[in-house]
Amino acid sequence: MNQYLIAMDSWYILEKLILIGALIGLSFFIAMYTTLAERKIAGWMQDRMGPNRAGPFGIFQPLADGGKLFFKEEITPTSSNRFLFLLGPALAMIVALITSTVIPWGASYVGETRTVALQVADVDMGILIVFGIVSVGVYGIMIGGWASNNKFSLLAAIRGASQMVSYELPMGLSLIAVLFMTGSLKMSAMVEYQMQHGWNVLYQPLGFLIFFVCALAECNRTPFDLPEAENELNFGYHQEYSSMKLGFYLFAEYINMFVSSAVMATLFFGGYDIPFFDEAAWQGSALVLSALTFAVMMAKVSFFLFLFIWIRWTIPRFRYDQLMNLGWKKLIPLALINMLISAALLLFLNK
Amino acid sequence: MQLTQRAKSVDRHPLTWLESIYLWNILKGMAITLRHMFMKKATIQYPEQQRTFSKVFRGLHVLNRDEAGRENCTACGLCAVACPAEAITMEAAERQPGEEHLYREEKYAAKYEINMLRCIFCGLCEEACPKDAIYLSQTFAPANYARKGFIYSKDELLIPHPINEREAYVKALGDRQPPHSTTHTN
């Protein structure tokens, strides 16, 4: 009996390790090709072609970009704090990668002997973990800006930190209305709730909108990319960074985009739920169902990634006072009202 | 004072609450960018596709040969006189017996240089030439590392031999008529 348990456990660990490896690989792959999509879509929206020289349709462009970053000279400013200077991009990258662990990427594969969940950790307080880890991401920016020992970097870092702190508040408030409905912090439970009752975005359109705007701000995407306002306020907190350290910061941003798209899909758009289809009624092989749900999840994520890119190439960035006004005077009251109305409606309907 | 009929007064009213969350205007902007995504692109994929030159494009000079491959130029100097940029220099020489297959008339240009940095590609040399010996082709001078590389000498300007290097000759001729079929009217 004991031996059996140990055997099971080692399989379990192996399964999770494979899943973690796959997830990290997936994050890097998606982030790489988001950079290509970004440049392609930017080109199309500006009546250009976008990169199309490296391989057919430019599909090797991300490799070329990455190779370029690796081979560039790496400069560490003499007056910088070396340890913190290294810690900044590392932290940004680690934080970006950790968040994806609690997201369910597809329906669990139910085999004859065992079920394999397409999720590294189905934690009871899943969404809170995401929030907790994302807020650590501020340190990547702050440490990077501070360790550069450059006043402009520091100012940009403070700008970025204040932005992220300001927009975390309405993000959390808009989330509470969703939690009222699903009644669980567990990501898989949220998806199951939406499978039965319809997607949350139908009941919480305002909540989704606020969440989406805040997600843009959390990812430092236009119109909220003040931390790295490269053309008017220097290059931002990574001004002193070069080579792959800079690459890590930029790459972490794309991974953040990917993960926050996945979080939005899970919270508001039914996660891996296939629209207009009852997964429980599936007759075919469980493996196909898992693959299908994973594909649907990826389609939703791609849609959000496209939305991020679309917005970036449409609007210019906000002024700092506009940013703060929007966050504190518009989004927080809106999120509060949304929360109160949802609470009142839920109470009223339950009675 | 009204300067134009199209003048509009600037609207400086404070933003209404709906305007202050920017949403509607952002959506309008996004509709515009989405429309542009599917528009025809103006790009020409350069090395594969090339923009066609106009029929009257005046590019790099070519020194002509007749149908037997003899040089047309007699070093009369009219092109150099006509040139407003003073880009053309030449030295004349007399044709020796036995050189009849090289030069069409008794006098020829031993040295013929055009400074492409001076040249303004006006085509006056082509108009001035009585022997149909110089014309402007539909290519342009490629980039170079040094100034002296832009001074084109005779062997760079001369059109390939029409019999010995037929293919290169036809390519260099481009859209133009072969020299013997052109008749001077002006």
Residues in B closer than 8 angstroms to A311, CB to CB, are 26, 30
- Residue A26: its pLDDT value, please? 93
Q: Give the span between the Cα atoms of A331 and A316, in whole angstroms.
A: 19
- Residue A141: its pLDDT value, please? 87
B1 has a chain A CB within 8 A of its CB: no
**A235, β-bridge pairs:** A233
Predicted model pTM: 0.82
| Host H or E run for residue A206 | helix A205-218
| Tokens (6 digits) for B19 | 């305007």
DSSP for residue A28? H
Give CA A300 to chain center in angstroms: 13
Residues A84 and A76: beta-carbon distance below 8 Å: no
Residue A15 lies in a domain: no
Q: Higher pLDDT residue, A279 or B58?
A: B58
Predicted confidence (pLDDT) per residue in B110-141, tens digit: 999 999 999 999 999 999 999 889 988 888 77
Residue A28 lies in a domain: no
Residues A289 and A279: beta-carbon distance below 8 Å: yes
Q: 3-state class of B90 per DSSP?
A: strand
Q: Give the span between the Cα atoms of A259 and A98, in whole angstroms.
A: 10
Please give the backbone phi and psi of residue A99, each rounded to the nearest 5 degrees, phi first: -60, -30
Residue-number span of the structural domain to which A327 is assigned: 72-107+118-350
Residues in A closer than 8 angstroms to B45, CB to CB, are 49, 52
Q: How many domains does chain A have?
A: 1
Would you say residue B36 has pLDDT above 90?
Answer: yes
DSSP for residue B98? T
- Residue A320: its pLDDT value, please? 87
Residue A42 lies in a domain: no
* Nearest in space to A343 (alpha carbons), one of A171, A175, A181: A181
* pLDDT < 70 regions, chain A: 1-8, 351
Please give the backbone phi and psi of residue B47, each rounded to the nearest 5 degrees, phi first: -65, -30
* Nearest in space to A174 (alpha carbons), one of A342, A329, A318: A342
- Helix-helix angle A205-218:A286-312, to 10 degrees: 70
B126-160: string of b/e by CB count within 10 Å (b at 16+)?
Answer: bebbebbbbbbbbeebeeeeeeeebbbebebbbbb
| Host H or E run for residue B165 | none
Residues in A closer than 8 angstroms to B43, CB to CB, are 48-49
Between chain A and chain B, the number of residue pairs with CB atoms below 8 A apart is: 42
Residues A89 and A245: beta-carbon distance below 8 Å: yes
CB contact under 8 A, A326 and B32: no
B178 has a chain A CB within 8 A of its CB: no
Burial class (CB in 10 A: 0-12, 13-18, 19+), B115: middle
* Residue A145 CB contacts under 8 Å (≥ 6 apart), including other chains: A88, A153, A154, A155, A156, A157, A158, A160, A237
DSSP for residue A228? G
What chain B residue is nearest to A45 in terms of C-alpha separation?
A: B37
A302-314: string of b/e by CB count within 10 Å (b at 16+)?
Answer: bebbeebbbbbbb
| Host H or E run for residue A158 | helix A151-182
Residue A282 lies in a domain: yes
**B113, β-bridge pairs:** B89
* Nearest in space to A267 (alpha carbons), one of A350, A167, A184: A184
Q: Quickly state the pLDDT bin for B183 (edges 50, 70, 90).
A: very low
| Tokens (6 digits) for A306 | 């496209």
Q: Give the span between the Cα atoms of A276 and B62, in whole angstroms.
A: 72
Residue whose entry in the numeric block shows the structure tokens 């100012």: A155
Residue A60 lies in a domain: no
Signed CA dihedral, A68, A261, A175, A331: sign only: positive
* Nearest in space to B37 (alpha carbons), one of A316, A260, A306, A165: A306
Residue A40 lies in a domain: no
Q: Quickly state the pLDDT bin for B49 (edges 50, 70, 90).
A: confident
Residue A248 lies in a domain: yes
- Nearest by CB: B41 against A47, A315, A330: A47
Q: Higher pLDDT residue, A223 or B1?
A: A223
What integer is the mean pLDDT of B4-14?
Answer: 86
Residues A296 and A272: beta-carbon distance below 8 Å: yes
Predicted confidence (pLDDT) per residue in A41-55, tens digit: 999 999 999 898 888
* CATH of B61-181 given 3.90.870.10, 3.90.550.10, 3.40.50.300, 3.30.70.3270: 3.30.70.3270
- Residue B38: its pLDDT value, please? 92
